[in-house]
Amino acid sequence: MCCTKRWKKNKAKLARQHGQAYINSKGISIPAKVAPVSATLCGGKCRLKCSDISQKDRTSLHSAFYDLDESGKNVYLFGCIHAYTPKCSSNTSGRNRSWSFAYNVLIDGCRQRVCRRALCNLHSISASKIRHLNAQVAAGHPTAPPILRGNMKTGQTKWKKN
């Protein structure tokens, strides 16, 4: 009994990790994550032209991402984010409130800049995940923070309050 339960939980965890369909602990079925091949990646007005990324590249980015485990995904996303302070606001000294973020994905060995919306869509992730990672990058963390999995109740609420 106990073993079956644990096995089910692990199976769901693995499926979620790899973007496959699964049934969560509340019995709700979660659909598989699919690459945004036909969708627009971001608004038509985006000057970065993210939607020019080919279907093939979208699919390979998406599947490579879901081959990673949770900590691998965080490390990968961390590497996509570049924080900088806009030059024009350097007069307002001291406060590091004005971080800007640039996002890059690797396509055919070349870094291509994309907007945040496209980054979310390309990897089927939420904007809040990016915000969370941005905070880590801006705080000067050298690499992605350890996963707080298994610690969801205490760990995650703590982060969210920030």
Q: Rule CB under 5 A: which residues touch Zn ion?
A: 42, 46, 48, 50, 115, 118
Q: How many CA atoms lie within 13 A of 7 on its CB side?
A: 4
Complex with Zn ion: residue 37 or 139, whichever CB lies closer: 37
Helix (H) or strand (E) holding 137, with range, is helix 127-138
- Minimum distance between the CB of residue 51 and Zn ion, rounded to whole angstroms? 7
Q: What is the DSSP letter of 31?
A: P
Judged by beta carbon, residue 42 or residue 144, the one nearer Zn ion is: 42
User: Do residues 132 and 105 lie in contact, with contact meaning Cβ atoms separated by under 8 Å?
Assistant: no
Nearer to Zn ion, 118 or 137 (CB): 118
Q: How far is the CB of 125 from Zn ion (least distance, A)?
A: 15
Q: How far is the CB of 130 from Zn ion (least distance, A)?
A: 13
| AA identity, residue 47 | R
| Shorter beta-carbon distance to Zn ion: residue 46 or 106 | 46
Helix (H) or strand (E) holding 110: strand 110-114
Nearer to Zn ion, 47 or 97 (CB): 47
CA 30 to chain centre: 18
Cβ 26 to Zn ion, closest distance in Å? 34
Q: Which of 4, 134, 14 is nearest to 69 (CA)?
A: 14
Q: Nearest distance from residue 66's CB to Zn ion, in Å?
A: 22
Give ∠ CA 8-156-95 in degrees, rounded to 5. Answer: 155
